[in-house]
Amino acid sequence: MSLKNFSELFVNLDSNNSTNNKIEVLKNYFLSNDPKDNSWAIYLLTGKSNKRFISGRYLKNLFSQIYEYPEWLIDTCYLKVGDSAEVITLLLKNKSTSRKKKLSNISLNELLSKTIPDLSKLNEEEKNFKIKNMWETLPEDNHLIFNKILTGTFRIGVSIGLITKSISKLINIDEEIISHRLMGNFEPSIDSYEFLINKNINLKDLNSKPFPFLLANTIENKIFKHSINDFQFEWKYDGIRMQLIKRSGNVSLWTRGQELVNESFPELVAKMSHIKDDFVLDGELLVWNFKEQIAFDFSLLQKRINRKSPTKSIQLKYPIIFIAYDLLEINGRDIREIKLENRRIELEKYFSKWQNKTENNISDIFKICDLIFPKDWPDALTYKEKSRENNTEGLIIKKKTSIYSSGRKKGTWWKYKVDPMQLDAVLIYAKGGRGRRAGLYTDYSFALWKDQELIKFASAYSGLTNIEIKELDKWIRKNTIEKFGPVRSIKPEMVFEISFEKIQISKRHKSGIAVRFPRITKWRKDKKINDADSLENAYELMKKIS
């Protein structure tokens, strides 16, 4: 199977086809390619790893060297294109005369398991020669894939959901099961692929994987018609959502973004290992103010997220806690299908057992979430409005009879966030500021997703600290796609939480909505652009309040 098939798949998925169309295209790809290629395709499309073999800068220099191209010219092109791999791909079209007659028919598997990894074994001269040779022997429409994989910038707007759906259709097995199989690490191998398409539902290997997370929806008005007693109320913490798993004695910590973060939080892993039972807990990791028993700000947690093997002093300076919301599995028994109220009973039972029996004291790093008991809905509102006082974002409302399914299932969990309204948006334009901010890019425009397109929905100027402004300005200059007078279009990469007071329909804006007093409330460096909100979310927000 040749790389060509994957290039074609890429073109298909990259164009704005309908979801159904894409699922069909993916399904057909899986049907007509061998398991090795399929596993690599899934690996790439789900963005499980984007290892950079050489930098974009290296690629540009190499091209400049081989074809005697001025570097400044490549840099100018880069400003227009915004991606080194694509710039080189486009420039290579101009060099098609140097293409060898015999074209390579390399497979995706061979390219990824051999050709590219082998580059690191070569010295610079050999490496350059090899890349040049690839450029000259690969068919033109495979260049983009090759260059992108080389530079670790293979990114495409395909959600895991789409892969899940296409595999589910392929083998006719429920999406939930496929989604579970796709959790955690995915090694590009025949085994991984066969595991994914196995028709047997109960697979042992699932043990190494976290469960698909259940996510909360924004509050809906209709919920207020129901009795308050139908729901369980919790504080909505602003930390990192995680599954804390102990199976066959081994503890693992999985983030919602499906990263294994044991190394960042060794003290938690160590403590939890002492518990005798096996379990899967759903909860939130926070930096905790033990004196006042409330969470510290998210910014303190950021000091811990990307730091592997933190020193003792870091651990003391930023003390963490895992707050468990839910118990999903106990001693090998999957209890996701039992009602929330019963799972809560189990959670409380085991928590008190662990607290009393464990030799080590776990209460300095682990607790279960406190429940709130509002008398009626107005009382719930009062609680919500108090949530700022304890550094939470509002309430999470869970239907007591709900089972733990996956994704943003309607009618199970709701988030009742403290005002203002917020959406996570992608920075797409920046404009130079005036007066004190002259010479810095301080006026920003933000976009939301509409299918695969980012549509501008708000401009905001305030909310960042001076240090953040400087940092962002520097980044903007490096990541400009195009300049239109004082305005620059920016590589969509940075996600910001935008808060605003009012949202309404507007015919004047392309997005169809207008927001009042938009401001930046958080630079979400922890989020990728695919995590940003969609216009649909904005419309729903609008529906809910009107």
Partner 1 sequence: MRTKQEDLIRYKDGNLYCELADIWIDPSKPVKRALITHAHFDHFTFGCEEYLSTKETAMLLKERVGDNLNIKTFDYGEEFKINGINISFHPSGHILGSSQIRFIFAEEKWLISGDFKLQRDETCKEYEIVKTDYLISECTFGLPIFKWDESNKIANDISKWITNSPEKTSLLFCYSLGKAQRLLNEISQTNFKGNIYSHGSIHKMNNSYRKLGINIIDTIKIENKNKIDELKGSLILLPPSLSKGSYLKNFKNIQTAFASGWMSIRALRKRSGYDMGFPISDHADWDGILEVVKKSEAKNVFFHHGDSEALSKFLVEKESINVLFFGK
Report in angstroms how near the CB of residue 31 gets to partner 1 at its nearest. Answer: 16
Which CB atom, from 28 or from 315, has the smaller least distance to partner 1? 28
Which CB atom, from 94 or from 361, has the smaller least distance to partner 1? 94
- Tell me which residue of 454, 544, 443, 458 sits closest to 493, measured CA to CA: 454
Report in angstroms how near the CB of residue 69 gets to partner 1 at its nearest. Answer: 8
Which CB atom, from 15 or from 293, has the smaller least distance to partner 1? 15
Which CB atom, from 50 or from 76, has the smaller least distance to partner 1? 76
Specify the residue for token string 């690839």. Answer: 134
The verdict on 536 binding partner 1 (CB under 8 A) reads no
Contact 154, 88 (CB under 8 A): no
Which CB atom, from 56 or from 394, has the smaller least distance to partner 1? 56
Q: Any idea what the Cα angle at residue 326 is, between residues 321 and 332, rounded to 5°?
A: 105
Report in angstroms how near the CB of residue 41 gets to partner 1 at its nearest. Answer: 19
Total residues contacting partner 1 (rule CB under 8 A)? 26
In order, the DSSP letters of 56-119 are: HHHHHHHHHHHTT--HHHHHHHHHHH--HHHHHHHHHHTTGGG--SS-----HHHIIIIIHHHG
The verdict on 17 binding partner 1 (CB under 8 A) reads yes
Specify the residue for token string 């963490």. Answer: 320
Report in angstroms how near the CB of residue 351 gets to partner 1 at its nearest. Answer: 49
The verdict on 86 binding partner 1 (CB under 8 A) reads yes
Report in angstroms how near the CB of residue 87 gets to partner 1 at its nearest. Answer: 6
The verdict on 93 binding partner 1 (CB under 8 A) reads yes
* Contact positions with partner 1 (CB under 8 A) in 320-349: none
Which CB atom, from 163 or from 490, has the smaller least distance to partner 1? 490
Residue of 41, 54, 91, 268 that binds partner 1 (CB under 8 A):
91
Report in angstroms how near the CB of residue 505 gets to partner 1 at its nearest. Answer: 16
Report in angstroms how near the CB of residue 449 gets to partner 1 at its nearest. Answer: 11
Report in angstroms how near the CB of residue 321 gets to partner 1 at its nearest. Answer: 42
- Return the number of other C-beta atoms located less than 10 Å from residue 367's C-beta: 17
Specify the residue for token string 């690599």. Answer: 40
Which CB atom, from 14 or from 526, has the smaller least distance to partner 1? 14
Task: Name the amino acid, one letter, at 218.
Answer: T
Rounded to an integer, what distance in angstroms lies between the CA atom of residue 176 and that of residue 159?
Answer: 15
Helix (H, G, I), strand (E, B) or coil at 244: strand
The verdict on 484 binding partner 1 (CB under 8 A) reads no
Q: What's the per-residue H, E or C state across 338-397?
A: CCHHHHHHHHHHHHHHHHHHCCCCCCCCEEECCEECCCCHHHHHHHHHHHHHHCEEEEEE
Report in angstroms how near the CB of residue 186 gets to partner 1 at its nearest. Answer: 26
Which CB atom, from 269 or from 490, has the smaller least distance to partner 1? 490
The verdict on 485 binding partner 1 (CB under 8 A) reads no
Specify the residue for token string 């420039």. Answer: 91
Which CB atom, from 69 or from 461, has the smaller least distance to partner 1? 69
Report in angstroms how near the CB of residue 428 gets to partner 1 at its nearest. Answer: 9
Residue 307 to residues 172, 266, 289, 301, 436: CA-CA distances in angstroms? Answer: 42, 11, 20, 10, 35
Which CB atom, from 65 or from 94, has the smaller least distance to partner 1? 94
Report in angstroms how near the CB of residue 254 gets to partner 1 at its nearest. Answer: 32
Which CB atom, from 232 or from 479, has the smaller least distance to partner 1? 479
The verdict on 90 binding partner 1 (CB under 8 A) reads yes
Task: Name the amino acid, one letter, at 117.
Answer: P
Upstream peptide bond of 492 is cis (omega within 30 degrees of 0): no
Specify the residue for token string 């940092």. Answer: 471
Report in angstroms how near the CB of residue 157 gets to partner 1 at its nearest. Answer: 9
Q: Where are the beta strands (DSSP E) in 433-490?
A: 441-450, 453-460, 480-484, 487-490
Rounded to an integer, what distance in angstroms lies between the CA atom of residue 85 and that of residue 488?
Answer: 21
Report in angstroms how near the CB of residue 446 gets to partner 1 at its nearest. Answer: 15
Residue of 453, 468, 501, 536 that binds partner 1 (CB under 8 A):
453
The H or E element that residue 236 is part of is strand 231-237
Rounded to an integer, what distance in angstroms lies between the CA atom of residue 540 and that of residue 362?
Answer: 41
* Contact positions with partner 1 (CB under 8 A) in 42-81: 69-70, 72-73, 76-77, 80-81
Please give the backbone phi and psi of residue 227, each rounded to the nearest 5 degrees, phi first: -65, 140
Which CB atom, from 93 or from 199, has the smaller least distance to partner 1? 93
Residue of 40, 60, 83, 336 that binds partner 1 (CB under 8 A):
83
* Contact positions with partner 1 (CB under 8 A) in 413-452: 452
Encoded tokens for 43: 């690996």
Helix, strand, coil percentages in the chain from 3-state DSSP, rounded to 5: 45, 25, 35
Which CB atom, from 72 or from 546, has the smaller least distance to partner 1? 72
The verdict on 98 binding partner 1 (CB under 8 A) reads no
Residue of 1, 14, 302, 461 that binds partner 1 (CB under 8 A):
14
Site string for partner 1, 486-525 (x = CB under 8 A): -----x----------------------------------
Please give the backbone phi and psi of residue 52, each rounded to the nearest 5 degrees, phi first: -100, 120
Report in angstroms how near the CB of residue 18 gets to partner 1 at its nearest. Answer: 8
Q: Any idea what the Cα angle at residue 249 is, between residues 243 and 250, rounded to 5°?
A: 50
Rounded to an integer, what distance in angstroms lies between the CA atom of residue 182 and that of residue 406?
Answer: 13
Which CB atom, from 77 or from 469, has the smaller least distance to partner 1? 77
- Tell me which residue of 155, 200, 163 sits closest to 182, measured CA to CA: 163
Site residues (vs partner 1, CB under 8 A): 14-17, 21, 69-70, 72-73, 76-77, 80-83, 86-87, 90-91, 93-94, 452-454, 481, 491
